[in-house]
A and B are shown apart, each in its own frame.
Chain A
Amino acid sequence: MALRYRVRFPAAVLAVIGAATFQLLIPRFLGGAIDHAASMLAAAGGEDATLIAAAKSALLGSALMVLGTAIMRGVFTLAHNYLAESIGQSFGYELRLSFFEKLQRLSFSYHDRIHSGDLITRGMLDIEGVRRFIESGVMRLFQLAVLIGLGAYLYMGQDLILGALCVSFVPFALWRGVVFRLRVRALWREFQERMSVLTRIMEENLAGIRVVRAFAAQKHEMQKFDDWQQRTLAPAIDMVRVRYFNTSMMTFSYFVAMGLVLWFGGLRVIDGQITVGELTQFLVFMTVLQMPVRQVGMVINGYARASVSGARMFEILDLEPAIRDRQGAPALKIGAAALAFENVSFSYQGFASEHTVEGITFAIEAGQTLGIVGPPGSGKSTIAHLIPRFYDVTGGRITIDGQDIREVTLDSLRAQVGVVQQDTFLFKTEVRENVCYGEPGAEDDRVVEAADTAQLHDYVAGLPEGYDTLVGERGLSLSGGQRQRLSIARSVLLTPRIIVFDDSTAAIDAGTELRIRESLKELNRSRATIIISHRLSSLMHADEILFLEEGRIVERGSHAELLAQQGPHLGRYRRLFDLQMGLARDNAHAR
C-alpha cells in the first residue's frame, strides 16, 4: 500500500510525527510555566520586582509557546487526518472498482452459487469496513505508537523512573488489546454470518409475501425471524461485553499508572528532587496519552471488522473467472454463421446432475431454424447458455464458422450471439435505455424498429411518456408478456447473427407471437435461429427439431419427419403434437 501512495503515505507519516512532537512539547511548556510561577514565588516570596518582571515575561513567553505549539499541532493533525482519509478513500475507490470489475466478469456458474444479497453486502459494507480501518485504524495505531515511543524516549530521558511509570500501563493495555482482538474477531465473524442469514430471511419474506400470505405462513415466518434475530443478538451482546470489559481495563490501567506517577512524583517533590512544574509536566504528558488509549478500543474493533470484511472481499477478488479470453485469442470471424455442436456434453459443477446434457450434435447456419422441445429440466436452456459461453462445455466442442468458441474473444462471440431469456431483468431507467441496453446510445429509429419487431412499439408509444417512461424498480411495472417482448426487442436491436429464443414467448399469447414471428421472418434470412418452446406452433416450421429428454436428443427431424416416426421408443413428438392438436380438432368440430 505504501508503494501505491508514494507521496501521500510518507507525507502522512511525517505529519503524524510532527503532530506527535508538538503534542509532546505542550507538557514541557506548561510545566515550565508552572515552575516560573511557583519557583519565583518560592524564591522571592513575591517581593523582588525585577525577578517578578522576569518571571512575568517568562510566563508570557511560555504562553505564546503553548499557543504556537497548539496551533502547529492542529495543523499537523489536520494534514495527517486529511492524508489518511485521502489514502483511505483512494483505497476504497480502487477496491470498489476492482470488486465491480471482478463480479461483472465472474461466470454464471459462480453467480448461480452465490446469493446476490451477499454480494451486495460485500460491495457496500465490507468495502466500507476495510476503507475505514485503513483511514482511521492504520494511521491511528501508528500515531499511538509514535506518541508512546517518542514520549517514553523524551520523558524517560528526563526522569527514568517517572517516565517509565508514565508508560507502565502500555504492556498491560497491549495484552488486553491482543485478547480483545482475538475474541472480537471471532464474534464479529459470527455476527456477520448470522446477520446475512437474517437479511436473506427478511428479503425473501418480503419478495415472496404473496406466497407467505397464500399459505397463511405469517406465524411460521415470524418464528424464523425471531429465531435468527435472537441469534444475531447473542454475538452482538458478547461483542459489547468483550469490547468494554477490555477497554475499561485499559483505561483503568492508565489511571493506575497516573496514580503511581502522582505518588512517586509527589514523594520526589517532597524530597526536593523535582519541582512542582516537572511533576505537572509528567501528569500533563499522561493526559496527552489519554485520548489514544481511549481510541485503541475503537481501532481494534475496526480492525476486527476490517479483517473479516477484508477476507470476504478478497475471497471474491482472488477468484479467477472460469470463463475468460484465452491469451491472445483472436476475434470471431463470422461468415455464414454456421453453428455446430459436436458431441457436446456439459454438467453443472456441484449441482443438479439433471441439468446435464450429453452427446448433443447439430449444425445450423444463417437462414436456418432449429427447434428444441422437451420436458422441464431436459437441458434445453443449458444448450442455449452454452452458445455465448455462459458456461463452458465439459466435453465435445461448439464451433461457429469452424472456430471453437473457446478460442475467440468473449466480446466478439457475444456480439454475434443473442439469447432471449425466459426471465427478463429490467434496469431502472427509461424504456428506451432498456431496449438499447446492449448498445447504449442507439438511434431512436432503431430502437423503435426493434420494439416494433417485438410487437412492443404500440404499447410503449401509447404511454404518456412513450420511450422515456421509467421501468424497473419504482417505475412502470410491465406484465410478463411485455417483459418478454422487451427482451426480444433488446436482442433484436443488436442484430446478432445467431439468435436463441429460450422459451421467451411463454407469457405471450399465440396471436402476438405469430405477429412477432412474421416480423422476424425477413431478418431471419441472414441469421441462424434456435427456438426453444413448449408450444409446438412456435417451432414446427424449423428446419430441424430436437426432442430432448434427460439431456439427450431422443428424437430429431423436421416436423413432418417427426410426425411420421413410428416405433416403441419413438413418437414422443407426435404424441406431444397430438396433445396440443387435440384442441385444434375440438375447435374444428365445434365449428
Chain B
Amino acid sequence: MPDNALPDPVAAKPAATPRKHAARAGEEIFAKAIDPRVVARFFGFLRPYRFMIVISIVAVLVFTLTQIAVPLVIRYVIDKALPAAAGGLAARGNAVHLLGLAVGGFFAVALVNYASNYCQQTWVAVTAERVLIDMRRAMYSHLQQVSLSFMDRTQVGQLMSRLQGDVGALQEFLESSIFAIGDLALLIGIIIVLLAMDAELGLLTLSVVPILVLVRAIWLPAAKRAFLRARETSSIVNSALAENINGVRTVQEMSREGFNFAAFREKAAENYRTHLRATRLAQVMVPTVDTLTGAAMAIVILVGGNRVLEGTLEVGVVVAFLFYVQRFFDPIRSLTMQYSVMQQATASGQRIFEVLDVPVDLKDRPGAIDLMKSRNPGEGTVEFRNVTFGYVAGLPILKNVSFSVAPGETVALVGPTGSGKTSTMALLHRFYDVWEGQVLIGGRDVRDLQQESLGRHIAMVLQEPFLFTGSVIDNIRYREALASREVVERAARAVGAHDFIARLPQGYDTVLGQRGVNLSIGQRQLLSFARAIVADAGILILDEATASVDSFTERAIQTALEKTLVGRTGLIIAHRLATIRGADRIIVLQEGRIVEQGTHAQLLAMGGLYHRLHAMNVASFDDLPANRH
C-alpha cells in the first residue's frame, strides 16, 4: 500500500548533493504550471459558487472599463471642451457647458468605479473564503474515513500543512485569477484604445512591450531559483523551530540550549541571506520597468509632440497616451506574477487532491446492518475465522488465526512483542480489513456492519492514552456527550480516578492542557479507562491499558473491570499477568499464530510458551530471600 503514501512537500530527505536536493524540492514546490486534472477538480469546488463567480467577473470587467474610461474623459475635455472656448463669450459658455458635461460624466464613471470596485473585491474575497472552507472540509472529512493504515504512515504535521497552507494557496490563486481576468482585459482594452486613437503612435509606444516580455523571460528562471531557495530555507527554519518547541523538555534536560541555538542561528542566517538574494533579484525589475515606462513616455512626447506640431494629432490624445502608458505595466507585472502563483497553486492542488484521492477502503457496504438496532444476547459473540492479515504485502502479522469468544466471556491475549495482539484488536474494530478469513461479531461479518454501529458496540482502551484539550468530564464522556455527571463520576470512581479528579482545582470541570500534559501517564490511563466504561458498550477491549499504574490501582481497576464485564464480552491484552488472571480463558499468540489456549492453570500445566512468559515476567523475584525455596 505504499503507493498512496504522501510525498513530503518540504522534502527534507537527504539527497546525494545539495544541488540535487534543491532541484528536487523545487519540482515539488513549483509543479508544472497547469495540470488539467487539478484544474478540472478545482472547478468542481467552484461549481456551487458559479453564480457569484460570474457576477464577480462582470464586476471586474465593469471596473476595468471605468479604468479605461478615465483618460478618455480627460482627452475629451482637452480636445473638445477646452478648445471650444476659443472665440468669444458665447463660445466660453459653450465650453463651460461641455466641460460640465464631461466632469459630470467623470463623476458618473467614478461612481460606477466605486460600486464595481467594492463589489468585485468583496465578492471575489468572500467566494474564495468559502471555497477554502469547503476544500478544507472535504479533506478533513475524508481523513475521518480513510483507512488507519494510511494515517499510520502519514505525519500529522504533513496533513496539517495541507489543511492550512495548501488550501490557503488555492484561495489566493482563485482570488488572483479572477483579478487576472481584469488585468488581461485592462491590457487588451488599453491596447485597443491606443491603436484606435492613433495606430502609428500606438504601435510605437507598444514597441517597449516585447522588450519587457523578453527581459522578464530571461529574468524569471534566475529569480524563480532564488525564490525557491528562500522558501526552502524558510521551511527549514520553521521545522527546526517546531521540533525544538515539541522537544523542549528534552532540550532542557540535556542542556542542549546553547548548541541548538547555534544551529538555529545558522539556519536563520541562511534564511536571511537567501531572502535578501531573492529581493535583489526581484528588485532588479523595478528600474527596468521604470526605464521602459520612461522610454514609452519619451516616445509619446517625441513622436506625439511632433505630430501635434504638424497638426496631425490632437493634444488630448497625447495626454491620454501618457495616462495609459503609466498604467500599462501594472497588468503586465501582475500577469507575469500570476504565472508563479499558478504554479504554486497547482503544486498545492496536487497535494490536496492526493489526500482526497486516498481511497476509502473501509466503506459501509450498501445495506450494512446497524448493530445497535438489533441488540440481542448473541451480539456479544466474537469470532475470528481463519484470519490472515498484515500491514505490508507479503508480510502477514496474523496467520490463519481462529478463535471465538462467547457473550459475557473474558478472554486475554498474551504473547511476545510483535506476536499480533494489537492487530487482533484492531481487526475486531475493523480498523483494517482482513486479507483472508472473517471476523464476526454476533455471527455477522464485520464488513457487513455499519462502522458507526460497530464503534458504538465496542469500547476500547488504547495502549497510549490520548486526551483532548477540554474538561475532564468531557474527556470521560467523549462518546456519550450527554452522559450525566453521575454516570461519569461512577465510572471515575470505578477505576479509582475520582479521588485525584476531585482534588483538581475545578474538579471534573478542570480543563486539561495539551494531551493532558498536566496529568501523569498513569492518571491519563485511568481517564481513558473511565471513558471506555462510560461508553457502555457490549464489547470491551483493553490494550495494555494499565502499564503505568501501580498494582493497587490496577487491582482496583481489576475489580471495576470484573463488575463492568458482567454481561459483556471482554478482550484484554497485557504484559502484566495480574491483569489477565481474572480472564475466563487465555489465548497465547506467537508470531501471528495461536499456540496455546486455556485457563491460567491449564496453561501453566502445559509448560509451554505461557509458562515461559509467566516465569520471565516474575523472574526478577527469584533472587528474593522471601521467595527462595
Residues of A near B257 (CB, < 8 A) are 104-105
Do residues B122 and A241 form an inter-chain contact, with CB atoms below 8 A? yes
Residues of B near A284 (CB, < 8 A) are 322-323, 326
Q: Which residue in A206, A233, A585 is a CB contact (below 8 Å) of B151?
A: A206
B264 at the interface (CB under 8 A from A): yes
Residues of B near A266 (CB, < 8 A) are 77, 81-82, 99, 102-103
Q: Which B-chain residue is minimally distant from A247 (CB atoms)? A: B121
Q: Which A-chain residue is minimally distant from B93 (CB atoms)? A: A270
Asked if A440 meets B259 with Cβ closer than 8 Å, knowing A354-B500, A375-B550, A511-B619, the reply is: yes
Do residues A376 and B268 form an inter-chain contact, with CB atoms below 8 A? no
Q: How far is the CA of A440 from the CA of B258 in the complex (A)?
A: 11
A280 at the interface (CB under 8 A from B): yes
How many Å from the CB of B122 to the closest CB on chain A?
5
Q: Which B-chain residue is minimally distant from A209 (CB atoms)? A: B151
Interface string of B457-493 (1 = CB under 8 A from A): 0111011101011000000001101000000000000
Q: Which residue in A204, A236, A245 is a CB contact (below 8 Å) of B118?
A: A245
B residues 256-297 in Cβ contact with A at 8 Å:
256-257, 259-261, 264-265, 268-269, 271-272, 275-276, 279-280, 283-284, 286-291, 293-295, 297
Asked if A123 meets B151 with Cβ closer than 8 Å, knowing A81-B279, A116-B514, A216-B454, the reply is: no
B39 at the interface (CB under 8 A from A): no
Interface string of B15-43 (1 = CB under 8 A from A): 00000000000000000000000000000
Q: Which A-chain residue is minimally distant from B100 (CB atoms)? A: A263
Asked if A73 meets B129 with Cβ closer than 8 Å, knowing A56-B309, A85-B276, A90-B272, the reply is: no
B61 at the interface (CB under 8 A from A): no
Do residues B287 and A262 form an inter-chain contact, with CB atoms below 8 A? no
B163 at the interface (CB under 8 A from A): yes
Q: Which A-chain residue is minimally distant from B522 (CB atoms)? A: A376
B159 at the interface (CB under 8 A from A): yes
Instruction: Give the bracket for the number of chain B residues in contact with chain A.
Output: 35 or more
Do residues B237 and A233 form an inter-chain contact, with CB atoms below 8 A? no
A50 at the interface (CB under 8 A from B): no
B113 at the interface (CB under 8 A from A): yes
B519 at the interface (CB under 8 A from A): yes
Residues of A near B265 (CB, < 8 A) are 97
Asked if A112 meets B253 with Cβ closer than 8 Å, knowing A71-B287, A225-B140, A280-B319, the reply is: no
Do residues B620 and A377 form an inter-chain contact, with CB atoms below 8 A? no
Q: Which residue in B256, B261, B287 is a CB contact (below 8 Å) of A100?
A: B261
Do residues B283 and A82 form an inter-chain contact, with CB atoms below 8 A? yes
Do residues A425 and B249 form an inter-chain contact, with CB atoms below 8 A? yes
A77 at the interface (CB under 8 A from B): yes
| Interface SS, B side | helix
Do residues A584 and B621 form an inter-chain contact, with CB atoms below 8 A? yes
Interface string of A84-127 (1 = CB under 8 A from B): 01100110110011001101111010011101110110011000
A70 at the interface (CB under 8 A from B): yes
Q: Which A-chain residue is minimally distant from B307 (CB atoms)? A: A37
Residues of A near B237 (CB, < 8 A) are 96
Do residues B547 and A507 form an inter-chain contact, with CB atoms below 8 A? yes
Q: Which residue in A37, A422, A513, A590 is a CB contact (below 8 Å) of B309?
A: A37
How many Å from the CB of A169 to the closest CB on chain B?
11
Residues of A near B356 (CB, < 8 A) are none
Do residues B121 and A216 form an inter-chain contact, with CB atoms below 8 A? no
Do residues B552 and A375 form an inter-chain contact, with CB atoms below 8 A? yes
Q: How far is the CA of A229 from the CA of B250 in the complex (A)?
A: 35
A313 at the interface (CB under 8 A from B): no
A386 at the interface (CB under 8 A from B): no
Q: Which residue in B164, B242, B417, B517 is a CB contact (below 8 Å) of A199?
A: B164
Q: How far is the CA of A241 from the CA of B118 in the complex (A)?
A: 9
Q: Provide 15 A-B residue pairs closer than 8 Å at the C-beta atoms, listed in order of the A residue.
A: A67-B298, A70-B290, A97-B264, A209-B151, A251-B117, A266-B77, A269-B82, A287-B326, A377-B519, A390-B252, A473-B155, A490-B254, A563-B626, A579-B551, A588-B627
A-B pairs, top 3 by smallest CB distance, nearest first, are: A216-B455, A70-B294, A376-B522
Beyond A276-B82, A381-B520, A534-B550, list 5 extra A-B contacts (CB 8 Å).
Answer: A262-B73, A280-B322, A353-B504, A411-B255, A583-B618
